[in-house]
Structure 1
Amino acid sequence: MSSRKRFWKNVTLGEQDGLFRPELDGRPIRLPKGEVLAVASRALGQAIVAEWSRIPEEESFTPEQLPLTRIAGTMIERIRPDLIEAREALLRHGLDDGLCYRKEKPDSTVERIFEWLAKEGIQPSVTDGLMPITQSGDYITGLERLLTRQNEAELAVLGVLTQSFGSLLLALALVSGAISKEDAVSVANADERKQLLVWGRDDELFRVMTTREQDTTEALTFLGFAREG
């Protein structure tokens, strides 16, 4: 992405209408569609202030250096206006979820995820083949119910994780606390690890795995601050 140079001296946290907004030299930050960057959590607002403050004076920066801002922007401009559509978009991923395609016996983490899903009333069909699975109506209803419980910050994080993992079910298990970050990344990186065992060192595979772990860390950091209030 194109870079910009730091043009502000001070970053502070303002408050208006119950929302906390980082300000550059007293001015609010505008997102790509024109919305003001403002969040409901003071802790998240402070973390975003710290993120902008870390940009060295007079130096160029890119959006990659502002991960909390990026996720907040998605939440504000894409999710907040229509939570129903955001949930439906995630649901579509869950109808053909990567976790439901088993090439071999699942490991203990995957088994724990399916046990947790069963407690939530969600029992997905799985296959060891390549043909697409058609999930039951009960599965869809259960997944809809679980997504309805997710607030705007959780939906934003689920969007990041689902894209990174290729699995909504894996993302939901992580956001809900059923598994750890390390377990989630291990499951998500399973295919790349197998390829490395077969083909040896591959810089592109390492890049994919490293990026996935970074995306996960950034998403969970965002969620942690958002939940602090």
Structure 2
Amino acid sequence: MSSRKRFWQSVSVGERDGLFSPELDGRPIRLPQGTVLAVASQSLAQAIAAEWEAIPKDASFTPEQLSMTRVAGTMIERIRPDLIEAREALLRLGLDDGLCYRKGPADSTVERVFAWLATQGIRPEVTDGLMPVTQSGDYVTGLERLLSRQGEAELAALGVLTQCFGSLLLSLALLYDAISLEEAVFVANADERQQLLVWGQDDELIRIMAIREKDAAETIQFLKLAQNT
């Protein structure tokens, strides 16, 4: 991804019409489609401002260094205009959820995820084979109902976490505190851990696992700040 150099001298947070906007040299940050980056949570705006302030003077940077900014931008320009489509996109991922494909013995964390899902009326079909599973109508209805409760910040976080974990179900369980962040990452890293056991040291696999943990932690932090209004 192409880099840019820091061009601003100061970072602050402005307020207008009940929204908080990180500002560079007194000017609001504009997202790719031209929308001003402004959020309802002052805490989130301050965290976004801190990302920009942390970039050293005259240093090059990429969007990868601005995790809060990226998730907030997705929330504002992609999710806010059409929450229904955002929920439907997540539902499509949940119809072929990675958690429904078992490999090896049952994992206690996964079993707790399924137990929590059952309390939400969601009982997925699972398989230890390679063929896709077809979920029941009740599963679809339950997942639709759960997704309908999610606002723009939750949908933005779920989008990142689902891509990160390869599982909407695991992401939902994390959002609802049915499991911890550490437990979710442990489950998501299962394939990489198995490969390391079989093949030994692999720096690329270790890098992938570390990035997954970092992305998940930053996304959960984004959501906590966004909910602090």
Residue in 1 that maps onto 2:221 = 221
Cα distance per residue 1:101-150 (max 9 Å; x no partner): 11222211001000000001100111111110110111001001101111
- The aligned counterpart of 1:165 is 165
**Which runs of structure 2 are paired with 1:76-87 in the superposition (5 Å)?**
76-87=76-87
Counterpart CA distance in 2 for 1:24 and 1:208 is: 32
Aligned counterpart, 1:184:
184
Runs of 4+ aligned residues of structure 1 deviating over 6 Å after TM superposition are: none
After TM superposition, list the pairs within 5 Å mapping 1:46-195 onto structure 2: 46-195=46-195
Distance in 1, matches of 2:9 and 2:194, equals 49
TM norm structure 1? 0.98
CA-CA distance at 1:17 after TM superposition: 2.0
**Which range moved further: 219-228 or 165-174?**
219-228
| Whole-angstrom distance in 2 between the partners of 1:28 and 1:169 | 36
The one-character-per-residue Cα deviations of 1:2-46 (angstroms, maximum 9, x if unpaired) are: 111111111111112221111111111011111110111111011
3-state SS, counterpart of residue 23 of structure 1: strand
Structure 2 residue identity aligned to 1:148: S
CA distance in 2, matches of 1:66, 1:224: 17
Amino acid at match of 1:105: P
**Which residue does 2:21 correspond to in 1?**
21
Give the AA of the match of 2:127. T
**1:30 alignment partner AA:** R
C-alpha distance in 2 between matches for 1:91 and 1:17 = 34
Residues in 1 aligned to 2:224 and 2:127: alpha-carbon distance in whole angstroms: 34
Q: How big is the shift at 1:163?
A: 0.4
Report the RMSD for the aligned CA atoms in angstroms: 0.9
- Taking the aligned partners of 1:19 and 1:178, their CA distance within structure 2 comes to 32
* Segment drifting more, 83-92 vs 102-111: 102-111
Question: 1:81-103 CA distances to partner (integer Å, 9 max, x unpaired)?
Answer: 10000000000000000000112
Shift of 1:60: 1.4
SS for the counterpart of 1:194 is: helix
| Amino acid aligned to 1:46 | Q
Q: How many residue pairs end up in the alignment?
A: 229
SS in 1 for 2:227: helix
SS in 1 for 2:22: strand
Gap regions ≥5 residues in structure 2: none
Cα distance between partner residues in 2 of 1:210 and 1:60: 23
TM-score, reference length from structure 2: 0.98
Q: Secondary structure at the match of 1:228?
A: coil
CA distance in 1, matches of 2:163, 2:15: 32
Structure 2 counterpart of 1:93, one-letter code = L
Residue 31 (str. 1) matches residue 6 (str. 2): no
